[in-house]
Structure 1
Amino acid sequence: MAINFDNALGVHQYSLGIRAQRAEVISSNIANANTPHYKAQDVNFAAAMKSASSHQQGLSMSQTTDKHFDLTALSQQHVQYRMPNQADTGDGNTVDTQKEQAAFMQNSLEYQMSLGFLESKFTGMRKALRGD
């Protein structure tokens, strides 16, 4: 009997990739905090998860076999500009450094949590295969 990883791992395999992409977007915001006219961005996590879990076709890579992961959740289609909470500082930059750092920390914790879930799933599969 073949192992179906979509059923075995659930949404955790997709959430890990989306959280990694969100970390890149937030770190880009922090790096450009002093860049004039830079607009802060964020990943719409709910839309990306919905797209990943329903396997909607968007921008996708060529698949030579149906066993390849669907990478539509990792595309740029779910990156959106963030609404600024502060008044314009005069240079057109919408990055709030404290908000970005808090978002980065929360995303890092959620990434670690997703890794923990995946680790427990793989541990369970390993025990089932060994007969422990």
Structure 2
Amino acid sequence: MLDKLTGTLDFQARALLLRSERQRTIASNIANVDTPGFVARDYKFGDALKNVMQGDKGYVVSTGQARTAAGHLPFSRIGELSHQNDPELGYSVQAQPNLDQNTVDLDRERANFVDNTVRYEAALRFINGQAKTMLTAIQGQ
């Protein structure tokens, strides 16, 4: 019964943590815009979310010890993916060649950053709304 109540929250929580990991990756690309030879990285969010939701990949307790229960969050530390559950980072395709071989397209990275931020906030609002709905149902108001 509890699984039915927390199922959507579990999905949104995992999506939220993947969004924060993607935000960190995009921020790293932006920070290295002037680094010669730096290759921009990113991953397909949908594929990463499917991988996290399937099977028991990455179910570890927050101390990094062996898995003790299937309900534990799939991250070794809050806000950080465990090594066995890292999304497969790919390399961004270079739109315009640079003389220093840097593949960061600042306009594309800014757009990705803003898009990811909006989706992160939407997931937060959804979780907040679900929590308020459950609290109202529990209190019987």
Contact 1:29 1:40 in 2 (8 A): yes
What secondary structure sits across from 1:109 in the alignment? helix
Pair 81,56 (structure 1): closer, same or farther in 2 beyond 3 Å: farther
Asked if 1:69 corresponds to 2:69, the answer is no
* Stretches (4+) displaced over 2 A: 2-6, 59-62, 64-67, 70-78
Query: How is 1:44-123 mapped onto 2 (pairs within 5 angstroms)?
Result: 44-57=44-57, 61=60, 62-71=66-75, 74=81, 75-86=85-96, 88-123=97-132
Over the matched positions of the two proteins, sequence identity in percent amounts to 29
- Cα distance in 2 for partners of 1:108, 1:55 equals 28
Cα RMSD (Å) of the superposition? 2.2
Superimposed CA distance per residue, residues 16-39 of structure 1 (whole angstroms, 9 cap, x where no aligned partner): 011000000000000000001100
- Between the two proteins, the alignment pairs up a number of residues equal to 129
Measured after TM superposition, the shift of residue 89 of structure 1 is 1.0
Measured after TM superposition, the shift of residue 10 of structure 1 is 5.1
Q: Which runs of 5+ in 2 are unaligned?
A: 61-65
Q: Which runs of 5+ in 1 are unaligned?
A: none
Using the size of structure 1 for normalisation, the TM-score is: 0.86
What secondary structure sits across from 1:77 in the alignment? coil
- Cα distance in 1 for partners of 2:30, 2:23 equals 11
Contact 2:39 2:91 in 1 (8 A): yes
Contact 2:59 2:70 in 1 (8 A): no
Contact 2:59 2:72 in 1 (8 A): no
Higher relative contact order (CA 8 A, sep 6+): 1
Asked if 1:3 corresponds to 2:5, the answer is no
